[in-house]
Structure 1
């Protein structure tokens, strides 16, 4: 079949192509994809730049190590806390509308951080940016899922989506290093025009959301309040646990309240006529499994980046630019492999793709244990970077495909929000555990962390990656015996009742 030349702007939700083995898209389809993926690139660009700049922010604003950690953690708090709400908002209020609003919030938060002269305001700006990302991430992914049909078309689009994120990482390490050499403020200011450009492109190129019925519609306000409060509190407890103590009254009490809020949310959803989260969606094993893998993918990578950054900058005395160049191979390899990962999905299956990625991760982290006082970058550090860069696009692309397969059109935003929540909560949990494990004598000051402290943190990452690899190979074997080859689990109630979308042919 021929592929539609464009993405319609008449309010209909139309696929841009059919499941041809060799998909070909028109200019408007490509332009829309570039704009949507640009938001993902912006998230990656911003995260890597600010991550590189944290030591300079800490020194310039006189922040403690514990408060400087919140420059990273506040973003995770805003992102992870509002993701489910952001995902459902994109389904109820319109994906385009929520996507554009998220970009505007992201730009405002970045501008606030760039002009702040107080560490607290920088932390607040990062929270605002996380809130904006919580709106753009699920809406961007659901826009792609809705525009490209399940199969080769969607796999290819998601591969490009992954590559665009890698572009942000690969350019972010260089740009972040260069800008930090001038001033850390430029790492906040640069995303402002990028977000504005994406906002303008979104207004012009993303199709308008389908017209919604004129009848009065109820919204699950109680569910939105309880789940957002629960996620905010849960992420806060996790990132504060290394400082407060894992068994302290504050940590245990906060965790207990978060659990109670989640229980209240479940009760509210079971009784709501139009729930924020249809609980039956959680019976989709593919979605739940992909979200858990997502937690391991980003949790181990962010922790590795945290340890690697401290090791190279603080322990070895490298400059921000030198550290940026050290991490550059990861982004370049992801850019190379990600567009090709989609083609492999249909050949070897989702579970084997995830297993391959997590196995590469595990080996990479084992190799990083060799770092010492005078370790060679080329012989000791670079091999880990290569394996991570090769493994990430396999696991990441496969997890995205698995999470959204067989989910109803009306719940794609929510499914994307659940998946993204897995990424962000995983990052918060694993990083918090790694930080606690790295501490020497109860100190969280990086100057007090010895080389053995770095090794201890890496062992935590190895365990998480290794267990994930083991579980995915079990899933892969089970899928092969079952004859599916994909490992996805479809929930009939959600998928089979989804409205069919028209396909435009030319």
Structure 2
């Protein structure tokens, strides 16, 4: 456990960093039509305003996790925020597609450095059990609010100040948080002698996962049998295979393969893959339904996400209590089942003529399940992992999260567009319904994975605590 000062300020800062990152996930969606018109994107290339972020984020997470472990968590946390702020400034100043896409990619790099540093700071600064569960609930709640408010803030800013403001707003937030970090986070310890960085592993993992995410993102547009997509997917798989071979043989691996013996971590990786491929895609389809079927304005679309924010906060608070009382497996399973039910109910409510109130039961169930599941799956990922490997363990779960997001969105877009070329109006509704039902069914795969978590508790192994362990934590006080 790292020595810390002022854990209240520390937790507030880490939650704020998650809030910034979550806001940016959705804030750009609402501004996309205006960005496309003003910056000069065509219908095909506009997706890269979103995809450039996802590709860089997913590709650099493992590297970011190991950098946090080896170079220092405060150092990487502040570096990530500065990168994020400067890239946001560049994005707002962009006058052409190339500069904007590059800025989004650097934002993604900043996110890839920020998330594992943040999670490893939580997992090494708060004791495993009730204290850590509470910290994760606060962190997860900030993310839930940021996801929902991102759409609202994006609508307000785009409506009154133009699309550039959705980038500029990140600059003072990120740079201000970086400045506070020197007060809230204790100095990084001296780097341990004799620990090399595993350059071969870092390069093969970064390029391999970047290629995989690129191939998945590009597949629906370019065609899954196109040369660029096949080259990216095959090349990415080959490099990931090389990465695993290197990790098995090197003395100082980027990702110690013994971490895969931690049953909770492996299960969390599987759940995060499914979670982001199903829950994460709902923001895209809900925005599409409101704007392209019912022609909501950017402002109205943002306001439509407010119930999701409030319910997500309630879900993360409930998750904190449930983790202490019934353990990770039950909490995570309950969240996934609630979310699956919400997706199905929401899909049933989609209609060319239906009003917003009909959507609320599905939105509430979905958001409550998301709040429960988000906190629980990251609690599982950090359980029984030695402090020296918390950064890379967090990055492993987050990498599957990002790849799952890209794969899930690609699959569900293909499902929604099957048999139609419509981009607007009532013709979109049948495909959106089918995508919703498909996401609900796929979420049940996450339930099956969550059930592989062990009940009860197990002591950490002597070799760094990376054995099978479960977060059956003491009940929280009222």
Instruction: State the number of aligned residues.
Output: 465
Q: 1:249 to 1:171 in 2, by over 3 A?
A: closer
Name which of 159, 169, 174 aligns with 1:190.
169
CA contact (8 A) 1:300 1:464 kept: yes
Question: How far apart, CA to CA, are the structure 2 residues paired with 1:492 and 1:67?
Answer: 52
Q: Determine whether 1:126 maps to 2:104.
A: yes
Shift of 1:85: 0.3
Q: Determine whether 1:202 maps to 2:181.
A: yes
Q: Determine whether 1:387 maps to 2:365.
A: yes
Counterpart of 1:475 in structure 2 is 452
CA contact (8 A) 2:201 2:253 kept: yes
Question: How far apart, CA to CA, are the structure 2 residues paired with 1:444 and 1:414?
Answer: 43
Counterpart of 1:161 in structure 2 is 139
CA contact (8 A) 1:283 1:491 kept: no
Q: Determine whether 1:495 maps to 2:474.
A: no
Question: How far apart, CA to CA, are the structure 2 residues paired with 1:58 and 1:436?
Answer: 22
* Residue range with higher mean Cα deviation, 95-104 or 453-462: 453-462
Q: Determine whether 1:110 maps to 2:88.
A: yes
Deviations 1:341-393 (A, max 9, x none): 222112112111111111111111111222111112102x1111111221112
Shift of 1:262: 1.0
TM-score normalised to the size of structure 2? 0.92
Q: Secondary structure at the match of 2:445?
A: helix
* Residue range with higher mean Cα deviation, 243-252 or 96-105: 243-252
Q: 1:258 to 1:203 in 2, by over 3 A?
A: same
Q: Secondary structure at the match of 1:493?
A: coil
* Residue range with higher mean Cα deviation, 167-176 or 40-49: 167-176
CA contact (8 A) 2:261 2:466 kept: no
Q: Determine whether 1:359 maps to 2:337.
A: yes
Deviations 1:478-504 (A, max 9, x none): x4xxxx346x8966533179xxxxxxx
Question: How far apart, CA to CA, are the structure 2 residues paired with 1:157 and 1:369?
Answer: 34
Q: Determine whether 1:40 maps to 2:10.
A: no
Question: How far apart, CA to CA, are the structure 2 residues paired with 1:386 and 1:65?
Answer: 33
CA contact (8 A) 1:281 1:494 kept: no
Q: Determine whether 1:14 maps to 2:23.
A: no
CA contact (8 A) 1:13 1:210 kept: no
Q: Determine whether 1:261 maps to 2:250.
A: no
Counterpart of 1:466 in structure 2 is 444
Shift of 1:297: 1.8
Shift of 1:301: 2.3
Counterpart of 2:38 in structure 1 is 60
TM-score normalised to the size of structure 1? 0.87
Question: How far apart, CA to CA, are the structure 2 residues paired with 1:190 and 1:148?
Answer: 31
CA contact (8 A) 1:286 1:489 kept: no
Counterpart of 2:198 in structure 1 is 220
Q: Determine whether 1:82 maps to 2:60.
A: yes
CA contact (8 A) 1:300 1:465 kept: yes
CA contact (8 A) 1:219 1:274 kept: yes
Name which of 123, 141, 147 aligns with 2:119.
141
Q: Secondary structure at the match of 2:188?
A: coil
Counterpart of 1:49 in structure 2 is 27
Two-structure CA RMSD over aligned residues (Å): 2.1
| 1:173-184 paired onto structure 2 within 5 Å | 173-182=151-160, 183-184=162-163
CA contact (8 A) 2:293 2:426 kept: no
